[in-house]
Amino acid sequence: MIDLTDKSAIRAATRAARARFVAAHGRVVPCPAPFRTLLSHGLTVASYVPVGSEADPMALARVAVEAGCAIALPHVVDRATPIRFLAWDTEAALAAGPFGLSQPHHHAAELEPDIILTPLVAFTRALDRLGQGAGHYDRAFARFPDAKRIGVALSAQEVKALPVDPWDMPLHAIATEREWITA
Ligand SMILES: Nc1nc2c(c(=O)[nH]1)N(C=O)[C@@H](CNc1ccc(C(=O)N[C@@H](CCC(=O)O)C(=O)O)cc1)CN2
Ligand SMILES: Nc1ncnc2c1ncn2[C@@H]1O[C@H](COP(=O)(O)OP(=O)(O)OP(=O)(O)O)[C@@H](O)[C@H]1O
């Protein structure tokens, strides 16, 4: 049994479940119809480039590009430094970053996201999220409190409950390979 009060134990269990799921079913999350209604020309959508067995948000990012949105990607320096969302022209080459990430060059333009497609390690139906533990997205949510926080995940990452700390901000919705979860 996982101890549902221990964040690192939950991370280990859901990363293992996610890797098994992806080996059998793949990692693609199709674009849910309700996501399209959030988009309009000129908005900035922050996406991410998946690593390991993370859910792939590219179908959602592609629909955002078709709707006339600008795409930004997180740029990471290290665990302690806040991430910045930098413009990404979908043709542009990416650079290697820390933690095996692919990211825009550090001189790309910094954008303010209206919608943040958010990677996660575990989620609940109450829209709570557990991340990598560096606080990168927690801090980005605090900096951009008006942005829509959309989790992107595989259904295997769902848990019944998560410990919620004072700085944790719930997601507005979660897209998985089989459903769109909202409050
Ligand atoms: N694809 C992706 N991009 C992202 C994140 C993410 O979770 N996924 N981030 C989210 O904040 C930020 C980067 N922050 C990170 C902070 C810590 C670790 C980390 O400790 N990784 C572990 C490996 C985890 C695993 O086994 O899956 C490591 O390198 O040991 C990774 C990213 C911004 N970009
Ligand atoms: N708004 C904030 N400003 C400064 N530090 C923050 C803020 N929010 C969170 N943190 C710090 O970041 C760390 C977050 O740890 P936690 O285990 O909750 O991350 P997480 O849920 O895995 O999410 P993330 O994906 O953001 O890493 C904590 O040490 C916390 O003090």
CA atoms in the 13 A half-sphere facing the CB of 81: 9
- Give nearest CA residue, ligand 1 atom 28: 99
Query: Per CATH, the architecture of 7-181 is what?
Result: 3-Layer(aba) Sandwich (3.40)
Domain boundaries, the chain: 7-181
Atom in ligand 2 nearest the alpha carbon of residue 133: 22
The pTM of the full predicted model, rounded to 2 decimals, is 0.97
Span from the CA of 135 to the centroid of ligand 2 (angstroms):
3
> Is the Cβ atom of 11 under 6 angstroms away from ligand 2?
no
Strands (DSSP E) found in the chain: 44-46, 70-75, 84-87, 95-96, 102-103, 115-118, 122-123, 129-130, 148-152, 173-175, 180-182
Choosing from 167, 168, 169 the residue with most ligand 2 atoms within 8 A of its CB, the one to mutate for a pocket test is: 167
List, in sequence order, every beta strand (DSSP E) within 30-177: 44-46, 70-75, 84-87, 95-96, 102-103, 115-118, 122-123, 129-130, 148-152, 173-175
Per residue in 5-61, pLDDT tens? 799 999 999 999 999 999 999 999 999 999 999 999 999 999 999 999 999 999 999
> pLDDT tens, 28-43?
999 999 999 999 999 9
